[in-house]
Amino acid sequence: MPHLLIVDDEQSICWGLAKLAEQLGHAATTAVSAEQGLAAVGRLRPDVIMLDVRLPGMDGLAAMQHFQKAAPSVPIVVMTAYGELSTAVTAVRNGAFDYLAKPFDLAVAQRVIESALKHNARPTDAAVRLPPKDPAGLIVGTSPPMQEVFKRIALVAQSDACVHVCGESGTGKELVARAIHRYSRRAAGPFVAVNMASLSPTLAESELFGHIRGAFTGAEQSRKGILEQASNGTIFLDEVADIPMALQVKLLRVLEFGEIVPVGGERAVRSDFRLISATHQNLQQRVAEGKFRHDLYFRLITFEIEMPPLRQRREDIGPLAEHFLDVLADRNPGPRPSISPEALAELRQREWFGNVRELRNAIEHAMILARGGILSREQLPPPVLPAGFGQVGQEEAIAMLIRNWAQAQLEGGGEVQDLYERFLRLVEPPLLKVALQHAGGQCLAAARRLGLHRTTLRKRLDELGIGGE
């Protein structure tokens, strides 16, 4: 009978995992500290160790090497409710078989336990020193979707596999690419980023592959391309769906053989780099439409990380807002402002079609107006509509918006509901603000323009935190 050792100071976690083990036909022993768990290892000889990070006395990450010495072939599953990317990376680098972010579903825990029982963990020789954090490049998030992102970064960082990062615009795909590079064996090498959508088709080949002197008009000297500049490091190709078809063939050959032929050249140049790609477009659809090569697609999608949109991780909005206040305060004169509860509530209810990038811009906009004081709801810019919303007819645009919301709810496992209220929350604040501006801030005049009673308008303005006389 397989035996699980569960080390956690939360009795509810110990009880739940022990019950799960019992249902799976396994035995389970619980311990409330690392010291107690280590004392039990010798006599129990467990098959899987479930280890919490935050423990009284010795913490879980420090205890890992002791568990590995006492039971070198036993898989260790790390658990934590305080997940940061560095925690996930440390755990995986130091030999953790897997990483569970609390609160976790028991079905997920079951899959991890069953997987761990089929494999043996490979312990590392010593703890790995992590590079210092860069506040501006920090990936912030404690939500379950972001914990999954952290876990996947930690798992893939030490390999040389091609990684594709997908997600909506503004979700932080380049931050993920930089994190993978930072925690990889290539961290001492260059990180070279290029946005393929910003390159014209005539310049893209020269930018990627370089050129020799005289290769074309204006090529007065030879120039190394981005693929060669990234040798011994990582190259990040953003908006990879926009690579011209002719270049896709050449890029595939580089990935297969590691050889680059500059424009106008005949001799191949070797380059050893790790490729991370990203796009907000659907690459599978591009392949189906014949606009992206299927062989290059499969070469890029060796390992995929999907960045969740901000509206699917609303619990991260508060920490992200505070993070941006810290980062922006360091770059601007004056005291660091704080954020009012009303402004924070407004941030949490918005849809954020521009995602984390839009949130940062909103915080910076409000900071300029706050001048070191308290950020209020009135100082936030109006919400931004989805990309392409203004390029179609009014009725079609609204239908597109509602379809996007409904699809997001269905993909998240929820029922389609509250669409009317969500649409009002999006369009009502800017409508009322514009009406007030045109009425010189006079509530009565604005109410007449809107066709509302003054009392009704006054009530809505108060509820939304919009000023007016």
Distances (CA, A) of 263 to 204, 238, 260, 267: 11, 22, 10, 10
Q: Is the separation of the CB atoms in 167 and 306 below 8 Å? A: yes
Q: What are phi and psi of 320, to 5 degrees?
A: -65, -40
Q: CA 68 to CA 124: how far, in whole Å? A: 9
H or E element, residue 361: helix 355-370
pLDDT of residue 435: 84
pLDDT category at 130 given cuts 50, 70, 90 is very low
pLDDT of residue 386: 67
Q: Is the separation of the CB atoms in 55 and 63 below 8 Å? A: yes
> 3-118, what's its fold?
Rossmann fold (3.40.50)
Residue type, 397: A
pLDDT of residue 93: 82
**Contact partners, residue 124, CB within 8 Å, separation at least 6:** 93, 94, 95
Work out the mean pLDDT of the chain and round it to a whole number: 83
> 313-379, what's its fold?
Helicase, Ruva Protein; domain 3 (1.10.8)
Q: Is the predicted pLDDT of residue 415 greater than 80, yes or no? A: no
**Contact partners, residue 52, CB within 8 Å, separation at least 6:** 7, 8, 9, 10, 13, 60, 78, 79, 80
Q: CA 136 to CA 86: how far, in whole Å? A: 15
pLDDT of residue 409: 59
pLDDT of residue 372: 73
Q: CA 413 to CA 449: how far, in whole Å? A: 41
Distances (CA, A) of 428 to 350, 409, 425, 450, 464: 12, 22, 6, 11, 9
pLDDT of residue 275: 94
Q: CA 283 to CA 290: how far, in whole Å? A: 11
Q: Give CATH for domain 156-306.
A: 3.40.50.300
Q: Is the predicted pLDDT of residue 258 greater than 60, yes or no? A: yes
The reply to whether domains 3-118 and 156-306 share a CATH topology is: yes
Higher pLDDT, 335 or 292: 292
Q: CA 27 to CA 6: how far, in whole Å? A: 11
Q: CA 306 to CA 283: how far, in whole Å? A: 13
Q: Is the separation of the CB atoms in 117 and 100 below 8 Å? A: no
Q: CA 232 to CA 272: how far, in whole Å? A: 5
pLDDT of residue 135: 57
pLDDT of residue 408: 60
Each domain of the chain, given as residue ranges in start order, spans 3-118, 156-306, 313-379, 418-464
- For the CA atoms of the chain, what is the radius of gyration? 27
Among residues 366, 280, 352, the alpha carbon closest in space to that of 317 is found at 352
- The distance of Cα 291 from the centroid of its chain, to the nearest Å, equals 27
- DSSP, collapsed to helix, strand or coil, labels residue 156 as helix
Beta bridge partners of 98: 77
pLDDT category at 261 given cuts 50, 70, 90 is confident
**Contact partners, residue 90, CB within 8 Å, separation at least 6:** 61, 127, 128, 130
pLDDT of residue 287: 92
Q: Is the separation of the CB atoms in 272 and 232 below 8 Å? A: yes
Residue type, 184: S
Kindly state the tokens that stand for 25: 């036909």
Q: Is the predicted pLDDT of residue 325 greater than 50, yes or no? A: yes
DSSP symbols for 403-426:
HHHHHHHHHTT-----HHHHHHHH
- DSSP, collapsed to helix, strand or coil, labels residue 6 as strand
CATH class of 418-464: mainly alpha
Q: What are phi and psi of 119, to 5 degrees?
A: -130, 160
pLDDT tens figures, 58-97: 988 899 989 988 888 899 999 988 767 788 888 888 888 8
Q: What is the mean pLDDT of residues 43-71?
A: 89
**Among the residues of 119-224, which ranges form H helices?**
144-156, 173-182, 201-209
Q: What are phi and psi of 361, to 5 degrees?
A: -60, -40
pLDDT of residue 401: 66
Q: Is the separation of the CB atoms in 300 and 275 below 8 Å? A: yes
Kindly state the tokens that stand for 131: 């590079």
pLDDT tens figures, 184-196: 999 999 999 999 9
Residue type, 94: N
Q: Is the predicted pLDDT of residue 128 greater than 50, yes or no? A: no
Q: What is the mean pLDDT of residues 425-453?
A: 83
Kindly state the tokens that stand for 407: 């699809």
Q: Which long-range contacts (CB under 8 A, 24 or more apart) does 12-17 make?
A: 13/52, 13/79, 13/102, 16/106, 17/50, 17/109
Q: Is the separation of the CB atoms in 287 and 244 below 8 Å? A: no
pLDDT category at 51 given cuts 50, 70, 90 is very high
Q: Is the separation of the CB atoms in 69 and 126 below 8 Å? A: no
pLDDT of residue 400: 63
CA distance from start to end of the chain: 75
Percent of the chain with pLDDT over 90: 30
Kindly state the tokens that stand for 410: 């269905």
Q: What is the mean pLDDT of residues 297-309?
A: 93
Other residues' Cβ atoms within 10 Å of the Cβ of residue 9: 16
Percent of the chain with pLDDT over 70: 87
Higher pLDDT, 325 or 370: 325
pLDDT of residue 200: 79
Q: Is the predicted pLDDT of residue 179 greater than 60, yes or no? A: yes
pLDDT of residue 356: 94
pLDDT tens figures, 210-224: 877 776 766 677 788
Kindly state the tokens that stand for 301: 């999608």
